[in-house]
Structure 1
Amino acid sequence: MSRSPSFSRPPPKQFNTRRPQPVAEVLKRTDAFAALRAGVEQIAALEKDLRQLLPDYLGSGVEPGFIKDGVLALFAAHNALAARLRHLEPRLLSDLQQRGWAVNALRIRVRPQAVKEPPPVKQARMTPVGADALHALSESLAPSPLQAALARMAARHLRNREPKK
């Protein structure tokens, strides 16, 4: 007699639990997700069209919502972006209609995105030889903004290599 029950068979080979799977692939497995699959495909197509219609600086901060009763919800990352979208609303609406979207109005809402961590502060170190060469170069140049900038940079790196007391 086997210790494991008969209903605990390993998953079929085409279903690998260790490999991440695209949402579209998972939704295609059964008809129970047909409505959800249609909604996901609609959002993806709408997002693609919005990226093409909006300028680059706007496209990355705008997410489409669902179309309900002819009203498309657009979610902006911040208030300034929402205000800019409201200025573009008539043109954007007509462009979407020309592309075949059944949209009569836009509803623009603000949905703040998660705050991204600022990039780490650079911790570049210059070798003593490099700092000396930079100092020598700054002294060989005529007074100018470049000469002043090189002198400040060399002084900062020369000061950083002195032992702390």
Structure 2
Amino acid sequence: MQSPQQPYRLNIKRGKKPASAPGISSFLQQSDKLSPLLPTVKRNISLQKECESFLPPIFGHCEVLNLHEDQLVLSAPNAAIASKLKQQLPKLLAHLQHRGWQINAIRIKVQVKKTVEKQQAVKQALLTPSALNAFKTLEDSLETTPQNEALKAALARMLSRNGVK
């Protein structure tokens, strides 16, 4: 028991340091390289929002790529949108200059984005027991001929997937 004159102290046993993930330490060591990018990212996001507010129908598909030496570089997903955007560039440039952005020119780059097609799920119909019985009857009643071979195999696969032997 501790005396009233001494403050309470916790006895903490020192053990091994917890293991750290190798990716975290390398990321933290590179944070000095990443921190200068933060103002550029914030500026590009602000420019993106400004352009989207001025040209909402067209600029929904476009992105701000870079602002370097008073030249803004925008990306467009295809040539058609790039040509529509090009017609609006003088108005956009005047708007951005009016809002205080130090921009003297705007360039457009067409950058086609890769689209990933989603794999279509195979639809599986739920068959009632009477439907399964009808397919089983059909499979049993078909003659064994070369013409019926593929149909009988398909019926057998469908019935086995649905638990009918």
- The answer to whether residue 80 in structure 2 is matched with residue 71 in structure 1 is no
Code of the aligned partner of 1:63: E
Tell me, yes or no, if structure 1 residue 115 matches structure 2 residue 124: no
1:48 alignment partner, SS class: helix
Amino acid at match of 1:48: K
Closer/same/farther in 2, CA of residues 117 and 60 from structure 1, 3 Å limit: farther
Deviation string, structure 1 residues 57-97 (Cα, Å, up to 9, x no partner): x1221110211111100100100000001100100001111
Offset at residue 43 of structure 1 (A)? 1.0
What is the CA RMSD across the aligned residues, in angstroms? 4.0
In structure 2, relative to structure 1, the CA distance for the partners of 1:118 and 1:88 (3 Å cut) is farther
2:18 counterpart of 1:9: yes
> What residue ranges of structure 1 are gaps of 5+ in the alignment?
1-5, 12-16, 18-25, 126-162
Q: What residue ranges of structure 2 are gaps of 5+ in the alignment?
A: 1-15, 126-137, 139-150, 153-165
Bigger CA radius of gyration = 2
SS of the counterpart of 1:89?
helix
User: 1:34 maps to what in 2?
Assistant: 35
CA distance in 1, matches of 2:34, 2:118: 39
Report how many residues are paired: 116
Return the TM-score normalized by structure 2.
Answer: 0.53
TM-score by length of 1: 0.53
C-alpha separation between the residues in 2 aligned to 1:88 and 1:119?
A: 38
Residue 54 (structure 1) aligns with: 55
CA distance in 2, matches of 1:120, 1:32: 42
Provide the rounded CA distance (Å) in 1 between the counterparts of 2:93 and 2:119: 37
